[in-house]
């Protein structure tokens, strides 16, 4: 099947020059397996290469402090610089990180100019944990936040939807946009897990209240449950918000084989999530969708899952959603949907609770509460 969409990919060998150590899960091999996948006969030549550039300082400064830029610049040429307990920089890390942010911005520019339909920035280091003045959780610059502000300030777009399906909550992204109603941040992530933020009640601040939608999850959620949350919560809210652009922090550490965290999403599930987000972008903004790589540490799972996402983005395949939705544990997913609607119905008309049948029984709520207590003390 010939691709029906012009899909760009951002990649560059300099992303491999960032290395935090020989035993770190966020390592150059993550992109090496993706390069090998893209060289396979069924994938070769199907995507448009996007050459990255270093992000302009003014683009970085829309998200990060001058002191943060200086601190990362000071790491250039140094053997190793520890930035936090989980994050360090090698001699070329700052260049790689600026190329990651700049590469995403360049892909956004090409999509918004109509030269591409969508794109996937296969970059590292990842970004969604990086705060205004602090590197954190393997992340140096917050790529998706920089991309959102670039789209608004450089390209004149008004409303941006950020979807984050990484295992870990994107604390940096949330904090960047918490008070901003022009950016809607939707995040599914493991509850009671690193970095400790992303509670259901964190809905934004001031004029941004309601524009942060957090869905913390207990381990064990798989394809059907994730897609149910996208269908029942993300889709109606996004259609009500009507974004001009959709950005995805695409983490693959929710894969069932990933060592990080206990979720059960398969490679087919990632294709389904991509299809769901594509449908939103098609309905709201002419299909303008950009993805940027976040987590994902089982190399085979990462390779297969990114391959499925790229096939979906390019139109090489179209995954039917009904069978995946039908596979969901309705009781487990339905309880989460009910909890999210109960918090966010005051902000979004599309999340009004329906009939009494939507409400879980007292026993179901008690079981779920006990599971959250156990997860809190064991997770």
- Judged by DSSP in three states, 274 sits in helix
User: Residues for the chain: how many in total?
Assistant: 379
List Cβ<8 Å contacts ≥24 apart for 65-68: 65/132, 65/133, 67/133, 68/132, 68/133, 68/134, 68/135
Q: In 3D, which of 44, 25, 47 has the Cα closest to residue 302?
A: 25
The full set of domain ranges for the chain reads 7-378
Nearest to 4 by CA among 145, 117, 87: 117
* pLDDT recorded at residue 356: 47
Distances (CA, A) of 241 to 173, 221, 324, 353, 370: 18, 27, 26, 19, 35
Token code pair at residue 316 = 């090489």
Take residue 183 and report the two structure tokens written for it. 């950016």
Beta-bridge partner residues of 189? 216
Q: How high is the pLDDT of residue 51?
A: 97
- Residues with Cβ within 8 Å of 114's Cβ and at least 6 positions away in sequence, in order, are none
Q: Give the separation between CA 326 and CA 225, rounded to whole angstroms.
A: 9
pLDDT digits (tens, 9 = 90+) for 256-282: 999 988 999 999 999 999 999 999 999
d(CA 81, CA 89) in angstroms, rounded, equals: 5
Residue 292, Cβ density class (10 Å: 0-12 exposed, 13-18 middle, ≥19 buried): buried
Measured CA distances, 335 to 286, 361, 377 (Å): 33, 10, 21
pLDDT at 377: 52
**Tell me, what's the pLDDT at 369?**
62
- Torsion 163-168-173-178 (CA) sign: positive
Assigned architecture for domain 7-378: 3-Layer(aba) Sandwich (3.40)
Residue 364's pLDDT is what? Answer: 61
For 136-195, the pLDDT digits (tens) are 999 999 999 999 999 999 999 999 999 999 999 999 999 999 999 999 999 999 999 999
Q: Which of 18, 68, 92, 129 is catalytic?
A: 129
CA–CA gap between residue 33 and residue 96 (Å, rounded): 18
- Report how far Cα 217 is from the mean position of its chain's Cα atoms: 15
**322: how many CB neighbours lie within 10 A of its CB?**
8
CA 149 – CA 157 distance, rounded (Å): 9
Confidence (pLDDT) at 354: 72
If DSSP codes are grouped into helix, strand and coil, which group holds residue 248?
strand
- Concatenating the DSSP letter of every residue in 87-120 gives EEE-TTHHHHHHHHHHHHHHHHHHHHTTS-SEEE
Task: Output the pTM of the full model.
Answer: 0.94
Q: Which of 169, 150, 21, 170 is nearest to 82 (CA)?
A: 21
* Active-site residue flag, 128: no
CB atoms within 10 A of CB 196: 10
Regions in the chain scoring below 50 on pLDDT:
1, 356-357
Q: Let me know: does 23 contact 259? Beta carbons within 8 Å.
A: no
């Amino acid at each position: 099947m010939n691709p029906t969409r012009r899909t760009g990919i951002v990649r560059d060998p300099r992303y491999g020059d960032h290395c935090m150590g020989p035993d770190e899960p966020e390592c150059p091999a993550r992109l090496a397996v993706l390069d090998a996948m893209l060289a396979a006969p069924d994938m070769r030549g199907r995507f448009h290469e996007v050459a990255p550039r270093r992000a302009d300082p003014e683009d970085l400064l829309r998200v990060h402090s001058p002191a943060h830029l200086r601190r990362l610049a000071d790491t250039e040429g140094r053997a190793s610089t520890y930035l936090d307990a989980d994050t360090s920089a090698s001699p070329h890390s700052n260049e790689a990180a600026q190329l990651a942010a700049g590469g995403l911005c360049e892909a956004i520019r090409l999509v918004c100019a109509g030269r591409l339909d969508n794109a996937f920035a296969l970059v590292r280091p990842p970004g969604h944990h990086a705060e205004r003045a602090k590197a954190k959780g393997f992340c140096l610059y917050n790529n998706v936040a920089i991309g959102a502000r670039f789209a608004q300030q450089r390209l004149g777009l008004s409303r941006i939807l950020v979807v984050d399906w990484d295992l870990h909550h994107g604390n940096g992204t949330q904090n960047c946009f918490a008070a901003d109603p022009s950016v809607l941040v939707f995040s599914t992530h493991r509850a009671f897990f690193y970095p400790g933020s992303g509670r259901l009640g964190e809905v934004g601040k001031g004029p941004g209240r309601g524009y942060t939608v957090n869905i913390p999850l207990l381990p064990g959620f798989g394809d059907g449950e994730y897609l149910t949350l996208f269908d029942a919560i993300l889709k109606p809210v996004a259609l009500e918000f009507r974004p001009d652009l959709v950005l995805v922090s695409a983490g693959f550490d929710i894969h069932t084989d990933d060592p990080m965290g206990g979720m059960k999403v398969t490679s087919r599930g990632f294709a389904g999530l991509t299809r769901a987000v594509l449908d939103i972008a098609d309905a709201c903004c002419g299909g303008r969708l950009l993805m940027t790589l976040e987590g994902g540490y089982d190399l085979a799972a990462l390779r297969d899952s990114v391959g499925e996402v790229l096939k979906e983005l390019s139109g090489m395949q179209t995954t039917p959603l009904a069978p995946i939705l039908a596979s969901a544990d309705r009781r487990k997913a339905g309880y989460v949907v009910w909890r999210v609607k109960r918090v966010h119905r005051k902000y979004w008309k599309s999340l009004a609770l329906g009939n009494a049948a939507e409400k879980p029984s007292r026993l179901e709520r008690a079981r779920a509460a006990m599971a959250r207590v156990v997860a809190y003390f064991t997770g």
